[in-house]
């Protein structure tokens, strides 16, 4: 059997699997088919820690389920010191792992960061957020941003070097609309003069544009012009289109206004990002990247990867089960796909050694990315296989889909303020914070509110469409971020009271059978944590990490409620339980860091 490539997957399996291979040689004179070997946690109603299912091996053993499991169990018990004893139920071999093993692992988890893997030399770029500059960030962006940010952290924890990036969609007809409306109706209003946050102000004029546009269409239709014609001929729309042309022609006046209004938006975005606790290492602006890709497409045309039809350049993806797609219009201009091709190429040139590029973009663009990756593969770039679309589902509201046109979007700033206020309300009611200064309270409530929101959005499988329930998102009880924070604060409280040396006298020499079920359950979840992190990194899935963290702290709460720690008189047991609390504290803190969530010392 080969050495496992992923030592973090599960350490026990790393010991058990080779022993199983040896057992197969000796007992059955057969190679073990490792793909059929599966380990699972023993169900709580049976005795044991790890369960091996022997059904797949009955042909090889030539025996029934029970005898097969029994001989394997005897072999493992005899050859592995970590196997204390075993029992067999039907085809299930339940192994009891020694307390010694669990205690040693606990000690390690308390003294080292089990959720930090060594650097592996891989450089990964993660793109997320990527907003338009004509309106403020909303709930949809929040899922995107928290996801991308969390994935970045998870990748860092598993040893990758991460470059966080966003493409700011700063050009195009949408921003021209805001600009035209501001010119017409703004009377020189600025964020400073109005006290309105920059992105909100520009968003306001985007809405003003739409209103004026609709009025003009109505007027034209009233004059007997068809709706279709009116859509095109409304003066304000023509003005916006003229402005876009001027922008492209580098008209100084338009460019100045554009820079001014985009500047307002960036100030607004940055304030929101800062409150969210996210940041980027590298920004791309579409005003600079939209010209990219044209030459790459032409090169592809020369190589015969693409073809010309009616003056336009096409790619034929029908052999791959997709469609044909235009890459350059017959007038030679680019489409959206063109610049995405060019941008990807540029990034790999700019960052030599970049091994992976992850796009955090909604699943409505699944097809787009399929085509993009395929085109880059056809162009022969070896890194084309390392492109990933982190595709996430839309966020629905109880009232249905979010639509910016219909004003049903949930504004990011408002939502954050709401959850923070809710945290404040609850926090003040519980009145545990009498000695906190106002500044400390504010910081704490900010932390708790954001935890509620981030955890709420991250605990659901990213791939799935999810429902945003406002009441549930500000809930601080149950399966929530604040619940996890609360448990962390409990562990910190214990450790503070115990003093700095409290965990020093922990003894690993305790006899087997002394570990309580509550203690063992917590340690086992800690033991699984590195494997969960590894899987989360591989699957770009913060939800699995979020759910495991919840399971851990929930189990710890059961321990806390039923087993004395500080009040335990036996110094060895007391030290052990404090060490366990320390391990839970540090792992929980790190896991929450991976989710982009901070944890408080007290709450």
Partner RNA sequence: GGUCCCGUAGCUCAGCUGGAUAGAGCACCUGCCUUCUAAGCUGGUGGUCGUUGGUUCGAAUCCAACCGGGAUCACCA
Residues 273-302, interacting with RNA (CB under 7 A): 286
Long-range contacts of 332-338 (CB under 8 A, 24+ apart): 332/294, 334/290, 334/291, 334/293, 334/294, 336/368, 337/293, 337/368, 337/371, 337/372, 337/375, 338/292, 338/293, 338/294, 338/297
CA-wise closest residue to 596 among 186, 231, 147: 147
User: Residue 247 or residue 550: which is nearer to RNA going by CB?
Assistant: 550
User: Residue 253 or residue 310: which is nearer to RNA going by CB?
Assistant: 310
326 scored as a contact of RNA (CB under 7 A): yes
Residues 390-409, interacting with RNA (CB under 7 A): 393-394, 401
466 scored as a contact of RNA (CB under 7 A): yes
User: Residue 75 or residue 86: which is nearer to RNA going by CB?
Assistant: 86
Query: Sheet harboring 50-53: ordered strands across?
Result: 39-41, 50-53, 92-97, 83-89
Residues 57-96, interacting with RNA (CB under 7 A): 89-92, 94
8 Å CB contact between 128 and 392: no
Q: What is the DSSP letter of 174?
A: H
The minimum distance between CB 120 and RNA, in angstroms, equals 22
8 Å CB contact between 487 and 588: yes
Exactly one of 104, 111, 320, 367 binds RNA (CB under 7 A); that residue is 367
Q: Provide the b/e sequence for 551-583 (b: ≥16 CB within 10 Å).
A: ebbebbeebbeebebeeeeeeebbbbbbbbbbb
427 scored as a contact of RNA (CB under 7 A): yes
User: Residue 435 or residue 509: which is nearer to RNA going by CB?
Assistant: 435
CA-wise closest residue to 334 among 317, 313, 305, 357: 313
Q: One symbol per residue from 228 to 257: x for binding RNA (CB under 7 A), - otherwise; what is it? A: ------------------------------
305 scored as a contact of RNA (CB under 7 A): no
User: Residue 7 or residue 121: which is nearer to RNA going by CB?
Assistant: 7
Q: What is the DSSP letter of 28?
A: I
463 scored as a contact of RNA (CB under 7 A): yes
The two structure tokens encoding residue 246: 């001027």
Q: One symbol per residue from 168 to 187: x for binding RNA (CB under 7 A), - otherwise; what is it? A: -x--x---------------
426 scored as a contact of RNA (CB under 7 A): yes
User: Residue 102 or residue 486: which is nearer to RNA going by CB?
Assistant: 486
CA-wise closest residue to 591 among 143, 10, 154: 154
Q: One symbol per residue from 525 to 564: x for binding RNA (CB under 7 A), - otherwise; what is it? A: ------------------xx--x--x---x--xx-xxxxx
Residues 109-168, interacting with RNA (CB under 7 A): none
8 Å CB contact between 137 and 412: yes
Angle formed by the axes of helices 542-562 and 481-498, nearest 10°: 50
Residues 469-498, interacting with RNA (CB under 7 A): 469, 472, 475-480, 482-483, 486, 489-490, 492-494, 497
602 scored as a contact of RNA (CB under 7 A): yes
User: Residue 197 or residue 325: which is nearer to RNA going by CB?
Assistant: 325
CA-wise closest residue to 227 among 216, 235, 236, 238: 216
Exactly one of 22, 53, 122, 190 binds RNA (CB under 7 A); that residue is 53
The minimum distance between CB 225 and RNA, in angstroms, equals 22
User: Residue 143 or residue 197: which is nearer to RNA going by CB?
Assistant: 143
The footprint of RNA on this chain (CB under 7 A) covers a number of residues equal to 92
* Distance, CA of 455 to CA of 464 (rounded, Å): 15
The minimum distance between CB 318 and RNA, in angstroms, equals 10
User: Residue 149 or residue 574: which is nearer to RNA going by CB?
Assistant: 574
8 Å CB contact between 491 and 584: yes
* Distance, CA of 328 to CA of 338 (rounded, Å): 7
The minimum distance between CB 524 and RNA, in angstroms, equals 14
Residues 183-212, interacting with RNA (CB under 7 A): none
The minimum distance between CB 356 and RNA, in angstroms, equals 22
* Distance, CA of 73 to CA of 67 (rounded, Å): 10
455 scored as a contact of RNA (CB under 7 A): no
* Distance, CA of 96 to CA of 107 (rounded, Å): 19
**Chain CA centroid to CA 378, Å:** 30
User: Residue 271 or residue 433: which is nearer to RNA going by CB?
Assistant: 433
**Chain CA centroid to CA 359, Å:** 12
- Judged by CB under 7 A, the stretch of 186-194, 245-253, 266-274, 453-461 that binds RNA is 453-461
* Distance, CA of 7 to CA of 415 (rounded, Å): 42
Exactly one of 366, 385, 417, 570 binds RNA (CB under 7 A); that residue is 366
The minimum distance between CB 229 and RNA, in angstroms, equals 17
Exactly one of 310, 435, 509, 569 binds RNA (CB under 7 A); that residue is 310
Exactly one of 25, 33, 55, 245 binds RNA (CB under 7 A); that residue is 55
Residue recorded with tokens 């889909």? 401
The minimum distance between CB 53 and RNA, in angstroms, equals 5
User: Residue 182 or residue 560: which is nearer to RNA going by CB?
Assistant: 560
Residue 375, H or E segment: helix 366-378
User: Residue 15 or residue 516: which is nearer to RNA going by CB?
Assistant: 516
* Distance, CA of 387 to CA of 501 (rounded, Å): 49
**Chain CA centroid to CA 128, Å:** 10
Residues 333-362, interacting with RNA (CB under 7 A): 334-336
User: Residue 162 or residue 595: which is nearer to RNA going by CB?
Assistant: 595
The minimum distance between CB 352 and RNA, in angstroms, equals 29
- Judged by CB under 7 A, the stretch of 121-129, 144-152, 296-304, 454-462 that binds RNA is 454-462
């Amino acid at each position: 059997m080969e050495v496992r490539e992923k030592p973090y997957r599960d350490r026990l399996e790393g010991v058990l699997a080779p022993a199983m291979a040896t057992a197969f040689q000796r007992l059955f004179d057969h190679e073990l088919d490792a793909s059929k070997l599966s380990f699972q946690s023993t169900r709580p109603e049976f005795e044991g820690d790890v369960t091996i299912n022997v059904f797949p091996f009955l042909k090889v053993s030539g025996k029934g389920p029970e005898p097969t499991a029994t001989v394997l169990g005897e072999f493992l018990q005899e050859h592995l010191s970590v196997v204390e004893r075993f029992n067999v139920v039907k085809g299930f071999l339940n192994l009891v792992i020694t307390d010694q093993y669990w205690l040693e692992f606990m000690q390690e988890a308390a003294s080292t960061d089990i959720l930090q893997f060594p650097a592996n030399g891989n450089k990964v770029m993660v793109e997320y957020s990527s907003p338009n500059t004509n309106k403020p960030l909303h709930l949809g962006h929040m899922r995107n941003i928290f996801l991308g940010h969390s994935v970045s952290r998870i990748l860092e924890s598993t040893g990758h070097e991460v470059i966080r990036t966003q493409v700011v969609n700063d050009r195009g007809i949408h921003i021209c609309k805001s600009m035209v409306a501001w010119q017409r109706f703004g009377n020189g209003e600025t964020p400073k003069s109005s006290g309105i946050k920059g992105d909100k102000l520009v968003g306001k004029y985007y809405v003003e544009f739409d209103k004026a546009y609709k009025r003009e269409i109505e007027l034209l239709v009233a004059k007997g012009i068809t709706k279709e014609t009116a859509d095109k001929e409304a003066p304000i729309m023509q003005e916006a289109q003229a402005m876009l042309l001027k922008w492209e022609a580098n008209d100084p006046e338009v460019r100045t206004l554009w820079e001014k209004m985009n500047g307002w938006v960036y100030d607004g975005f940055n304030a929101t990002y800062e409150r969210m606790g996210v940041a980027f290492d590298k920004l791309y602006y579409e005003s600079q990247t939209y010209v990219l890709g044209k030459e790459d497409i032409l090169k592809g045309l020369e190589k015969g990867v693409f073809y010309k039809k009616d003056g336009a350049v096409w790619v034929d993806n029908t052999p791959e089960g997709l469609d044909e797609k235009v890459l350059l219009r017959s007038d030679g201009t680019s489409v959206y796909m063109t610049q995405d091709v060019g941008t990807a190429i540029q990034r790999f040139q700019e960052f030599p050694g970049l091994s992976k590029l992850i796009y955090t973009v909604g699943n409505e663009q699944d097809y787009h990315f399929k085509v993009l990756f395929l085109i880059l593969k056809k162009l022969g770039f070896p890194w084309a296989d390392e492109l990933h679309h982190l595709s996430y589902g839309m966020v629905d509201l109880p009232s249905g889909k979010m639509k910016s046109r219909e004003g049903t979007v949930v504004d990011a700033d408002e939502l954050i303020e709401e959850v923070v206020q809710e945290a404040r309300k609850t926090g003040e009611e519980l009145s545990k914070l009498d000695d906190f200064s106002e500044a400390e309270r504010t910081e704490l409530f900010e932390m708790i509110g954001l935890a509620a929101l981030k955890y709420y959005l991250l605990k659901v499988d990213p791939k799935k469409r999810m429902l945003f329930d406002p009441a549930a998102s500000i809930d601080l009880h149950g399966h929530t971020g604040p619940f996890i924070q609360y448990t962390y604060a409990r562990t910190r409280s214990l450790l503070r009271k115990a003093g700095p040396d409290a965990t020093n006298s922990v003894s690993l020499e305790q006899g087997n059978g002394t570990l309580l079920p509550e203690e063992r359950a917590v340690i086992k979840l800690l033991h699984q944590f590195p494997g969960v992190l590894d899987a989360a990194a591989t699957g770009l899935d913060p939800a699995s990490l979020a759910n495991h963290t919840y399971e851990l702290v929930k189990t710890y709460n059961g321990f806390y409620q039923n087993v004395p720690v500080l009040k335990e008189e036996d110094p060895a047991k007391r030290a052990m339980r404090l060490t366990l609390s320390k391990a839970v504290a540090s792992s929980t803190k790190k896991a929450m860091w991976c989710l982009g969530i901070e944890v408080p010392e007290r709450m």
